[in-house]
Amino acid sequence: MYDFKIAAADKATMYRDLLSALEGLTAGEPDPIANMANAAALIWETLPDLNWAGFYRNVEGELVLGPFQGRPACIRIPFGKGVCGAAAETLQVQRVEDVHAFPGHIACDAASASELVVPIARDGQLIAVLDLDSPTPGRFTEEDEAGCVALSELLARVL
């Protein structure tokens, strides 16, 4: 049994514990879908105030839904479209305080108010994006961004 319940007092500690739990979960496992599935579950269990956590994979230049937690979501997103597509096209983190103000935002779940999308790339090539949605406007801080970038750097090695 895996018991990775993380209950840290502050965000920095929480992200450090999350990173080491993810390192443990993915160590020695070469299957990218399995690693994305466990990463989505671990993030969902650990981060408060999310309504969606998961991955879109780069499949021949199009984002295709990967393992996630939350409500069923749109399956295919072209590069450049919505928040995920912007992250995929630019390879830049998209931290959006109010998704309704983001041009082209794709509303998979009407409850989503803010979003953090982190590209996962190796040698400059996009592998996937990590997408987190929250029902709370401005939910994601710079600390969340730094923590999720650290997770995506680990994931770039195991996806």
Binding residues for ligand SME (CB under 6 A): 52, 73-74, 77, 82-85, 105-106, 108, 112, 115, 131, 133
CB 47 within 8 A of CB 11: no
Question: Residue 6 or residue 74: which is nearer to ligand SME going by CB?
Answer: 74
Question: Residue 84 or residue 126: which is nearer to ligand SME going by CB?
Answer: 84
We find the least distance from the C-beta atom of residue 26 to ligand SME, in angstroms, to be 22
Question: Residue 54 or residue 147: which is nearer to ligand SME going by CB?
Answer: 54
Q: Report which residue's Cβ sits closest to ligand SME.
A: 82
CB 129 within 8 A of CB 150: no
d(CA 40, CA 130): 9
